[in-house]
């Protein structure tokens, strides 16, 4: 299986139904204590800040286990005005049932945890993070490590909650695996990418047409085309405005180059379209994207300038949109801050509105299908956040669509391939988009 469960609050409640709660808490508390000792073996003093629910009970059991191991450990109530000094703090305020913003007393405790300067172990998830969405309505604990129970929670994989979790460690508390609405993509998704057969020719291996490259913006179309080749497309053509042709001719040796006015002739050899890299934002370009989507039955990925002013187009072919937060905000008539705070909701809304797969880019790339399926790809290192990597993702997605992959799987595999390729770079500082392209064959291997 190439995905793993991502649990929301309701799914965890169903998984725990009928179980011995005291036994689950015993296992959970033991798991927290064991990870705290493994992670901080030199620590002598631990303070667990505990709420009144099951999460607080897990924290108190962890304290008992730490004491049994000879550590100075104590539990303090959420109402404690100040925190005693400790080598390590354990955040046991809220668990998966929390939503909304913390009230004044809890907010004060979270602020104290964050201001302490001590490393923090969060119990199940950082307090203040919504387990089902990753949203943070007020303040949230900044954890160094989160010991979560049974499996990853949505809020640990999706930003902004993801950025509060630190390292995530899953503790087994004896529950059976379950199907979940959201799934975490693993690198095994790359096994879905069709490999070339002995009988393939350059067209049957995947033929991509990249449309973009306005004057001054040719780098984007070149990156997308190069990425499509490195993602094992057999044939790549680019359609750019005539003034851009000399620049593209000089950089792209393998790709077929053509004037954008002849784009419908170039479409005849394509099995997938990549629309938008460096296309430019003019009414004429917006109309061209609309016409290409409406008049062709080819799978298409739309990115960057191709998303400018995009409106829903009725089509039967697979369609993938790859916005960042700002672009998605414009599509939804929302601010980018709203998208960043509600990433799951924004991606789902986009997928429904355009009847397309929406790929909301980020460290927690969200792949939302119009049928309600949601995948989270969390393999990209921080170095992947650099200019041009979105164009690389466009080219790789187009190559996978050209090979006949369904849109959701193609998008998830493309995001994962880019993340794995970036992680293979010998150094992350100074990573550029062309580094990712050069490492794509290794990632796919």
pLDDT in tens, 258-284: 999 999 999 999 999 999 999 999 999
Query: Do 163 and 51 belong together in one domain?
Result: yes
Structural domain harbouring 73: 3-179
Q: By C-alpha distance, which of 64, 52, 43 is closest to 92?
A: 52
pLDDT-derived band at 78, boundaries 50, 70, 90: confident
Query: Do 362 and 402 belong together in one domain?
Result: yes
Is a pLDDT exceeding 80 seen at residue 373? Answer: yes
What's the whole-number mean pLDDT along residues 372-388?
90
pLDDT at 389: 96
Last residue of a domain, one of 158, 179, 200: 179
Query: Omega into 369 within 30° of 0, i.e. cis?
Result: no
Is a pLDDT exceeding 80 seen at residue 42? Answer: yes
Query: Do 215 and 348 belong together in one domain?
Result: yes
pLDDT at 177: 87
Query: Do 151 and 288 belong together in one domain?
Result: no
Is a pLDDT exceeding 90 seen at residue 82? Answer: no
**Beta-carbon neighbour count of residue 203 at 10 Å?**
14
The per-residue pLDDT of the chain, averaged, comes to: 96
Query: Do 137 and 248 belong together in one domain?
Result: no
Is a pLDDT exceeding 80 seen at residue 360? Answer: yes
**Helical ranges in 158-204 per DSSP H:** none
pLDDT in tens, 296-330: 999 999 999 999 999 999 999 999 999 999 999 99
Query: Do 234 and 363 belong together in one domain?
Result: yes
| Cα 416 off chain centre by | 9
Query: Do 224 and 161 belong together in one domain?
Result: no
Query: Do 318 and 233 belong together in one domain?
Result: yes
- Rounded to 5°, the CA angle 55-58-61 comes to 155
Is a pLDDT exceeding 80 seen at residue 80? Answer: no
Query: Do 126 and 210 belong together in one domain?
Result: no
The DSSP string of 43-74 is: --EEEEEE-SSHHHHHHHHHHHHHHHTT-EEE
| Neighbouring residues of 192: CB distance < 8 A, sequence distance ≥ 6 | 2, 405, 409, 413
CATH number at residue 127: 3.40.50.10260
pLDDT at 142: 98
As for how many domains the chain has, the answer is: 2
Query: Do 40 and 124 belong together in one domain?
Result: yes
Query: Do 322 and 381 belong together in one domain?
Result: yes
Last residue of a domain, one of 157, 179, 201: 179
What's the whole-number mean pLDDT along residues 226-252?
97
Is a pLDDT exceeding 90 seen at residue 381? Answer: no
Alpha-carbon distance of 300 to 356, in angstroms, equals 10
CB 432 within 8 A of CB 388: yes
Q: Would you say how long the chain is, in residues?
A: 445
pLDDT at 428: 76
Query: Do 288 and 397 belong together in one domain?
Result: yes
CATH number at residue 228: 3.40.1190.20
Last residue of a domain, one of 179, 212, 244: 179
């Amino acid at each position: 299986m190439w995905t793993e469960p991502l649990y929301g609050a309701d799914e965890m409640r169903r998984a725990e139904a009928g179980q011995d709660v005291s036994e689950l808490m015993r296992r959970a508390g033991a798991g927290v204590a064991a990870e705290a000792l493994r992670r901080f073996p030199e620590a002598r003093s631990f303070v667990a800040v505990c709420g009144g629910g099951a999460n607080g009970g897990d924290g108190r059991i962890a304290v008992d286990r730490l004491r049994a191991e000879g550590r100075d450990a104590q539990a303090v109530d959420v109402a404690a005005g100040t925190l005693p000094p400790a080598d390590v703090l354990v955040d046991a305020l809220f668990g998966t049932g929390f939503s909304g913003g913390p009230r004044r007393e809890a907010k004060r405790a979270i602020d104290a945890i964050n201001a302490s300067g001590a490393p923090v172990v969060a119990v199940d998830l950082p307090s203040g993070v919504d387990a089902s969405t990753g949203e943070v309505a007020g303040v949230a604990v900044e954890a160094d490590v989160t010991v979560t129970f049974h499996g990853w929670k949505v809020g640990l994989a999706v930003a902004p909650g993801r950025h509060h979790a630190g390292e995530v460690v899953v503790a087994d508390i004896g529950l059976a695996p379950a199907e979940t609405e959201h799934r975490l993509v693993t690198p095994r998704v790359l096994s879905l990418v069709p490999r070339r057969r002995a009988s393939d020719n350059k067209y049957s291996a995947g033929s991509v047409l990249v449309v973009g490259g306005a004057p001054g913006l040719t780098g984007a179309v070149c990156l997308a085309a190069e990425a499509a080749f490195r993602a094992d497309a057999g044939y790549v053509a680019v359609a750019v405005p005539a003034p851009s042709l000399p620049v593209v001719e000089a950089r792209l040796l393998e790709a077929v180059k053509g004037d954008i006015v002849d784009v419908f002739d170039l479409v005849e050899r394509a099995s997938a379209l990549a629309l938008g890299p460096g296309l430019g934002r003019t009414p004429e370009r917006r109309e061209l994207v609309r016409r290409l989507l409406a008049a062709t039955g080819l799978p298409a990925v739309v990115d960057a300038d191709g998303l400018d002013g995009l409106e829903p187009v009725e089509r039967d072919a697979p369609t993938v949109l790859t916005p960042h937060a700002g672009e998605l905000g414009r599509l939804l008539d929302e601010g980018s801050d709203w998208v960043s705070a509600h990433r799951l909701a924004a991606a789902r809304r986009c997928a429904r509105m355009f009847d397309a797969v929406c790929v909301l880019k980020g460290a927690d790339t969200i792949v939302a299908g119009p049928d309600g399926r949601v995948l989270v790809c969390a393999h990209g290192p921080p170095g992947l956040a650099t200019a041009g990597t979105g164009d690389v993702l466009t080219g790789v997605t187009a190559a996978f669509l050209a090979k006949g992959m369904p849109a959701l799987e193609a998008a998830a595999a493309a995001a994962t391939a880019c993340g794995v390729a970036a992680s293979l770079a010998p150094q992350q500082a100074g990573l550029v988009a062309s580094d990712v392209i050069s490492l794509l064959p290794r990632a796919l291997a």
